[in-house]
Amino acid sequence: MTVYLHEEDLPAGVLAPGPVAVDTETMGLITPRDRLCLVQISDGGGDEHLVRFAPGSAYAAPNLKAVLADPARVKLYHFARFDLAALEHYLGVVAAPVFCTKIASKMTRTYTDRHGLKDLVRELLGKEISKQQQSSDWGAPVLSDAQQEYAASDVRHLHAMYEILVGRLAREHRTEMAQACFDFLPTRARLDLAGWAEKDIFSHE
């Protein structure tokens, strides 16, 4: 189990075929303002790859973009809406097809309102992850070991939770409805980027 840090792109051929877990770290929550600093990606085999982008990066990253845009690879996220917006804005790719563990959790774990990654990993996998580095400086010239470990842990458990949540969605007969939500997520991210982040376009108001 190794965490690899790469600069500006993923090396070719480091990921096994199949679904990949994806997460991003940025300078903040306002996507056009707060640059994309890191993309974390894992094939579920136990290693995590971190791709770091320098200030002023051209975000060329052809290998990473090819994986993200590959229609044959499902991309697993926790709160895909944010990551999809950052990936589209900075890398210019629609990183789909999508499975979002947060939406799957909301559509199956209706007995709780705790849908954060930490809570989900604890309940589904019985593991503890730290969110301590969440709001750290991802644009720093050197990422600390704690930051790298935190970034890697955000993609480490998504495959295992995906397996469980697929089963839960099927059990509750919500697979189709969830899939329709996942398919809409790239558009939801585009609405965020286009200025409808705070407006619910489906509400009456």
CB nearer to Mn ion: pick between 131 and 199: 131
The contacts of residue 66 (CB under 8 Å, 6+ apart) are: none
Q: Are strands 20-26 and 75-77 parallel, antiparallel or unpaired?
A: parallel
Per CB under 5 A, which of residues 124..163 are in contact with Mn ion?
154
23 binds Mn ion (CB under 5 A): yes
Per CB under 5 A, which of residues 47..66 are in contact with Mn ion?
none
Find the shortest distance in angstroms from Cβ 155 to Mn ion: 8
What is the 3-class SS of 25-64, one letter each residue? Answer: EECCCCCCCCCEEEEEEECCCCCEEEEECCCCCCCCCHHH
- Whose CB is nearest to Mn ion? 154
How many residues of this chain interact with Mn ion, rule: CB under 5 A?
A: 2
Find the shortest distance in angstroms from Cβ 133 to Mn ion: 9
Per CB under 5 A, which of residues 82..101 are in contact with Mn ion?
none
Cα radius of gyration (the chain) = 16
Do residues 134 and 153 lie in contact, with contact meaning Cβ atoms separated by under 8 Å? no
| Chain contacts with Mn ion (rule: CB under 5 A) | 23, 154
